[in-house]
Structure 1
Amino acid sequence: MTNLPLAGRNAVVTGAASGIGAAIAEQLAADGATVALVARRTDRLDDLAGKLGAGAFGVGMDVTSQDSVDHGVGVIGDRLGRVDLLVNAAGVMLAAPVEQVRLNDWTRMIDTNLTGVLRLIGAFTPDLIAAGSEGKTADLVNISSIGAHLTFPGYGVYSATKAALTHLSASLRADLSPYDVRVTNIEPGLTATELGDQLDGAGQELLATMNEQIGPLEARDIADVVAFAVSRRREVNLRQIIALPTRQA
């Protein structure tokens, strides 16, 4: 067990109930980390934690609620102790064209994709700094999107939240690198997950066409990227990674 690349690491993964978050949690646990799986859907968390063994446990948390985050962080502290690896993978993508003024959808994406990330960063940055100051490896990983750079009609607010997250990651690296905390921003391209399930009919039809023409990545592909980045020696920070299907321009 001690020969595993992440043995002895304590990790938190948000959005761990499905898709990329679940795949990341599974890969980190396989590589030896003790993992707190965070999401709203506790039934799914319990199922996944049961499959991953004693080194994983689920924590119900809604990242859009500060009270929920505070409670969940307390549970994690009691069960896990100090965290040295945080992966922000929770996210929501909704088609919300600006001319339709769907304020609730805009707010939901901002609260989940940006403010929710900040809540977790605020909660665990002291742990990461403490780990780095002791000469241990400390990682903050944000899952952004290729949408941070590309224009998708109808998805301006979603893309804006991901662009903000990408820029935030760069700024956080400037803030945290003096404390030997690594910050990695990962931007997946077309990936087969449940994220598209929340789209309307037209959005799902477009996504199906893209999947057929391009061929999406799988969630485990992004998990591989995360596991590789956080298993480098602590002096190496892979700060920005774009992972695209080969056929996606």
Structure 2
Amino acid sequence: MSTVNSLDGRVAVVTGASSGLGEATAELLAARGAKVAVLARRTDRLDGLVERVTAAGGTALALGVDVTDADSVHAAAARVQDELGTADLLFNNAGVMLAAQIGDVRADLWRRQVDVNISGLLNAVAAFVPQLRASAAERGVADLVNTSSIAAQNLFPTFEVYCGTKAFVTHYSRNLRAELGAQGVRVAVIEPGIVRTELQGHVTEPNAVEWLDETFKTLEVLEAADVAETVAHLAALPARVNLERVTIMPTAQAA
């Protein structure tokens, strides 16, 4: 039985689906009726996700993809169209968060964040926007949701490069909306505050680790499921409604 939140008939693609926001959102979209393609490098994690979705009566397709490899993303787009149908929802979520003192000159960490957070996002847009356009022309609406962060708007010492990549995601998304909105493709960017995911576990810079540890001890942070609900809500809105930018904060987080 359909509800106002139903996503029956939708074909959703989720990048960075092996954990965190991507994993939670993929499961929720499938539970709401969408057929879901889950993309990530860690295929062992994807297999478990597909098993859970299938056991709950949903449909999911696991695709091992590195978003920094444009050919890999385009090949995944072709498989989605062949096996699930034309995608009409892309949750562009793959990303990394790393910290370093500027004086340490960690160019490897800088490149990794630029490659995944910017180039990877652009690769997914390039691969799937043709399908989103086709879906919008057929059914009147399609959705592209990009994951940014409150880091796009705020100051976090040692996370300068991460903040810069997320500022790109936010501004790029708002500009992209100006082009795609007239074609029926809604573009939204979400900017979560502190969320409990695996991203924090990749941070090694001592001051950043100390700050994160203290934050998680003293603040009731967001859970991945909270962000997943937001993505599902965006996709279920009437075709005439586009929330272009959504900031999602823990109630007690000031900035």
Same fold (TM over 0.5): yes
1:156 equivalenced with 2:160 (yes/no): yes
Instruction: For 1:44 and 1:73, locate their aligned partners in 2 and report how far apart those are by CA, in whole Å.
Output: 20
Which runs of structure 2 are paired with 1:63-102 in the superposition (5 Å)? Answer: 63-102=67-106
Residue 218 of structure 2: aligned partner: 213
Residue 17 of structure 1: aligned partner: 18
Instruction: For 1:171 and 1:39, locate their aligned partners in 2 and report how far apart those are by CA, in whole Å.
Output: 26
Instruction: For 1:126 and 1:167, locate their aligned partners in 2 and report how far apart those are by CA, in whole Å.
Output: 21
Using the TM superposition, give the Cα deviation of residue 2 of structure 1 relative to its aligned residue in structure 2, in angstroms: 4.9
Instruction: For 2:27 and 2:241, locate their aligned partners in 1 and report how far apart those are by CA, in whole Å.
Output: 23
Instruction: For 1:219 and 1:119, locate their aligned partners in 2 and report how far apart those are by CA, in whole Å.
Output: 24
Which runs of structure 2 are paired with 1:126-137 in the superposition (5 Å)? Answer: 126-137=130-141
Residue 165 of structure 1: aligned partner: 169
Deviation digits for residues 102-128 of structure 1 (CA, Å, limit 9, x no counterpart): 111111101101110110101111111
1:198 alignment partner, one of 197, 202, 225? 202
Using the TM superposition, give the Cα deviation of residue 129 of structure 1 relative to its aligned residue in structure 2, in angstroms: 1.1
Instruction: For 1:33 and 1:46, locate their aligned partners in 2 and report how far apart those are by CA, in whole Å.
Output: 18
Greater Cα offset, 135-144 or 11-20: 135-144
Residue 6 of structure 1: aligned partner: 7
* Residue 87 to residue 190, structure 1, CA distance change in 2 (3 Å): same
1:240 alignment partner, one of 245, 250, 255? 245
Using the TM superposition, give the Cα deviation of residue 8 of structure 1 relative to its aligned residue in structure 2, in angstroms: 0.1
Displaced runs of 4 or more, over 3 A: 1-4
Code of the residue aligned with 1:61 in structure 2: it is V
1:181 equivalenced with 2:182 (yes/no): no
Greater Cα offset, 210-219 or 173-182: 210-219
Contact 1:87–1:142 (8 Å) recurs in 2: yes
* Residue 100 to residue 201, structure 1, CA distance change in 2 (3 Å): closer
Tell me, what secondary structure is at the counterpart of 1:221?
helix
Alignment length, in residue pairs? Answer: 249
Code of the residue aligned with 2:209 in structure 1: it is Q
Instruction: For 1:74 and 1:100, locate their aligned partners in 2 and report how far apart those are by CA, in whole Å.
Output: 42
TM-score normalised by length of structure 2: 0.94
Tell me, what secondary structure is at the counterpart of 1:134?
helix
Contact 2:141–2:185 (8 Å) recurs in 1: yes
Residue 106 of structure 1: aligned partner: 110
Question: 5+ residue gaps in structure 1?
Answer: none
Contact 1:46–1:57 (8 Å) recurs in 2: no
Identity within the alignment, %: 47
Instruction: For 1:130 and 1:59, locate their aligned partners in 2 and report how far apart those are by CA, in whole Å.
Output: 22
Deviation digits for residues 133-172 of structure 1 (CA, Å, limit 9, x no counterpart): 2233200000100000111111100000000000001001
Instruction: For 1:67 and 1:103, locate their aligned partners in 2 and report how far apart those are by CA, in whole Å.
Output: 25
Code of the residue aligned with 1:228 in structure 2: it is H
| CA RMSD, 1 decimal | 1.3
Deviation digits for residues 205-238 of structure 1 (CA, Å, limit 9, x no counterpart): 3211011222210000000111111100111001
Question: 5+ residue gaps in structure 2?
Answer: none
